[in-house]
Structure 1
Amino acid sequence: MAIPLSRSKPGLSVRRDGHAPVRRALPEEVPVAVVYDGSTHAVMMASPGDIADFAHGFALTEGVITSLDQVEGFEEVRHDQGIEARFWLREDRQEALSARRRFMAGPVGCGLCGIDSLEQANRPLPRLTGTGFRLDRDEVLRATDDLRPLQVLHAQTGATHAAGFLVPGQGIVAVREDVGRHNALDKLIGALARDGIDCASGAFVMTSRLSMELVQKCAIAGSPALIAVSAPTTHALHLAEDSGITLVAFARQGGFDVYSHPERITSEVTDVA
């Protein structure tokens, strides 16, 4: 049972000089239950596309699995009420699953709903060295502009986020969209893993602000750089500094700010750092 990514809905367009009926494409949003070995781990509101990518990326960034060979089976089951992403895991993943267990349904934009303790929210992150990884300044300047024409669902609805994967010298090679920024990044990470692409080979480009959860996902996936159109939070910056991530914000209108590890961004004239 296919669920459309958007639906045309009527409304009333009101302007200073009057009003008129209007129809607009609005993004669909459905509950997605992530189920491990028959037990629901989390319920997230998400766009109904690329669910397998989302589920695998979510499992990786939550630490339930560390590689795809720990998944013994997967199926996507669609119901009238929503979608189930069902995993069967290798037996040795039960301890990791218990450690990251969630009991509450989380709304879009809330990446920490239901976590059992503050320690789980502030879990240790790997330190990324990114030896040899460099981004040209002009690639960073173009990053969000290059992402925009690839946002098909946003072009239809004006209401979704995107996550892109920028490979130096190649541009943006993969994009995923969702109503939630965390979901969009999980979808992208899942898609890259399923295609055998190493996240350490490129930077993530986001159409949102940079929250701590996005930096956590970036570090766990192993990408050394995170670029966004909007601002980071102070805690996100703290995590990026400690994790060795190059954090780029306000990447729009021909400029950007670098808040951590600027040595990875270079130009033909001089290093940004």
Structure 2
Amino acid sequence: MTMPDPLAAAKATHVRPGSTQAVRRTLPEETPVAMVYDGTTLAVMMATPAHIDDFAVGFSLTEGVVTDQGQIASCDIVSHDQGIEARMWLTEDRAEALSARRRTLAGPVGCGLCGIDSLAEAARSLPDLHGRGPVLGVDEITGATESLRDWQPLHDQSHAVHAAGFLLPGHGVVLAREDVGRHNALDKLIGAMARQGLDAGQGAFVLTSRVSVEMVQKCAMAGGAILIAVSAPTAHALRLAQGAGITVAAFARGEGFDLFCHPERLKAEVSDVA
């Protein structure tokens, strides 16, 4: 069966005071995607049905199911009437990790922590990224989200999806992925980077969303030391980023940004950052 289209058309009525107008809108699809490891479903996520192979690899890496894409022996993407299965077979040494990272509930678009078996899993320790990562210029950070706009064809048509991009110093955004779920977009990006041999520690992640706990966790698990976002971080996410050694630049919207922690990765004298 062929993969479903990531976009769909819909009729609507545009209403203004004193007038109405029939319009057609382009909407993003969201489809159940089952992450199946060694014949067992570990998670079911609602996602845009595009780049599912990248999603499978990225989800596996950021959730700690594998530590290297080479530990996924094979991956088949199978489409059904009910949704999509990413059927992965792992190398033998990852059987214990498969059990430890089990999830049993569907994850809705707005939440990246739904279905985790224990609070300990939600508060898992993160890699220490102090002393790692590049140094970026002010202009590179202020222009990051605008550079990401060139990589958002689904957003241009639907205005209803998030994007995550990878910025390389001196090159701008070199790769991006989109999805109705901000966590899914980042997982897809991380998976695409792993498959293309891009090292997250050499650049920065750029997000169209807020910086939440799970976004910091996924960034850290991928080895990314810089997060640039168009919106704000949560307080808990900022504490995690501070502890993990991740630079957070938020409200990056073309004219400036707020630098919340780890200013040592900025090519400027910034002394007022905690």
| TM above 0.5 | yes
Deviation at 1:130, TM superposition (A): 4.1
* 2-structure distance, mates of 1:150, 1:124: 32
Normalising to structure 1: TM-score of the pair?
A: 0.97
In 2 relative to 1, CA 77–99 (structure 1 residues): closer, same or farther, beyond 3 Å?
Answer: same
Q: Which residue of 2 aligns with 1:55?
A: 56
Partner SS state of residue 75, structure 1? strand
Deviation at 1:253, TM superposition (A): 3.9
In 2 relative to 1, CA 63–82 (structure 1 residues): closer, same or farther, beyond 3 Å?
Answer: same
Matches within 5 A, 1:62-211: 62-131=63-132, 133-211=134-212
Runs of 4+ in 1 over 6 A off after TM superposition: none
Any stretches of 5+ residues in structure 2 without a counterpart? none
Deviation at 1:148, TM superposition (A): 1.2
Normalising to structure 2: TM-score of the pair?
A: 0.97
Q: Which moved more, 1:218-227 or 1:122-131?
A: 122-131
* 2-structure distance, mates of 1:132, 1:61: 18
After superposition, the C-alpha distances for 1:2-56 in whole angstroms (9 at most, x for unaligned) are 3111111101110113111110100011000000000000000000000000010
* 1-structure distance, mates of 2:30, 2:107: 13
> What percentage of aligned pairs have identical amino acids?
61
Q: Which residue of 2 aligns with 1:215?
A: 216
* 1-structure distance, mates of 2:34, 2:43: 6
* 2-structure distance, mates of 1:16, 1:191: 46
Partner SS state of residue 251, structure 1? coil
Q: Which residue of 1 aligns with 2:270?
A: 272
Decide whether the 8 Å contact of 1:163 with 1:207 is kept in 2: yes
Decide whether the 8 Å contact of 1:130 with 1:200 is kept in 2: no
After superposition, the C-alpha distances for 1:123-173 in whole angstroms (9 at most, x for unaligned) are 000110344620111000101111112210000000000000000011100
After superposition, the C-alpha distances for 1:33-88 in whole angstroms (9 at most, x for unaligned) are 00000000000000000000001000000000000111111100001111000000
Number of residue equivalences: 270
* 1-structure distance, mates of 2:254, 2:16: 28
* 2-structure distance, mates of 1:125, 1:187: 20
Decide whether the 8 Å contact of 1:218 with 1:224 is kept in 2: yes
Deviation at 1:107, TM superposition (A): 0.7
* 2-structure distance, mates of 1:112, 1:4: 27
* 1-structure distance, mates of 2:91, 2:159: 40
One-letter identity of the residue aligned with 2:196 = D
